[in-house]
Amino acid sequence: MNWNGLQLNKKFPQIPCLSQIEEIKEELKNRKKKDISIFLPFNYLYENDPLPHNWDVTSDSISIFFAKIFGLDQCFLIKDIDGIYDTQNHLINEISFKDYLEYIRLDKIANIDCNLLIKKKSSPIDLYALKLIEEFKTNCYILNGISLKLRIIEFFSKLSDKDKFYTKIYC
């Protein structure tokens, strides 16, 4: 995650990189609406070691964990898919974490095309992230960050929700 943050900073050097929790909290308190910064989480995670060490924990869980630390009640996960699809290949715009777990258990999550040649299971977030969504009462949005149709911009635009591509997982 630090490496990705540093790569973003190379492309956008005007966006500051911050690595201390207090810096981010201060920035959140004093920020103007359009100010952004890049958080580099490695030092905090290395010094505090707050999360389990297994493959159920990925950057998804880490992002939700830090959303809680920063006092945010929602987290946006930028992925390479539009969200979670059911077995009918319908995008699920909103689903509770409990229903999502049930969909997984009952194998109701669709196979989706990533590049028309490769089918993969639609498992856009790690399982520990679901535990954190419940524990922290944090809504989590899955947005497509590589779509040519600029799904992130669409999400924050004035389009009606039916014209947007995302999945919200709520507690």
Model confidence pLDDT, tens digit, residues 146-164: 877 788 989 999 888 888 9
**pLDDT at residue 40 in the model:** 96
> For 87-109, what is each residue's pLDDT tens digit?
888 999 999 999 999 998 998 98
**pLDDT at residue 113 in the model:** 55
What percentage of the chain carries pLDDT values higher than 70?
91
Cα 63 to Cα 65: distance, rounded to the nearest angstrom: 5
What percentage of the chain carries pLDDT values higher than 90?
57
Model's pTM, two decimal places?
0.86
Cα–Cα distances in Å, from 35 out to 25, 38, 81, 140? 13, 11, 26, 21
Cα–Cα distances in Å, from 166 out to 72, 117, 141? 19, 23, 7
Give the containing element (helix H, strand E) for 65.
helix 59-69
Give the lowest-confidence range in 22-31, 85-94, 161-170. 22-31
Model confidence at 125: pLDDT above 70: yes
Contact (CB, 8 A) for 58 and 131:
no
Q: Which domains does the chain possess?
A: 73-170 (3.40.1160.10)
Model confidence at 114: pLDDT above 60: no
**pLDDT at residue 149 in the model:** 77
With CA atoms as reference, report the closest residue to 119 among 89, 79, 149: 89
Q: β-strands 91-92, 84-85: how paired?
A: antiparallel
**pLDDT at residue 115 in the model:** 44
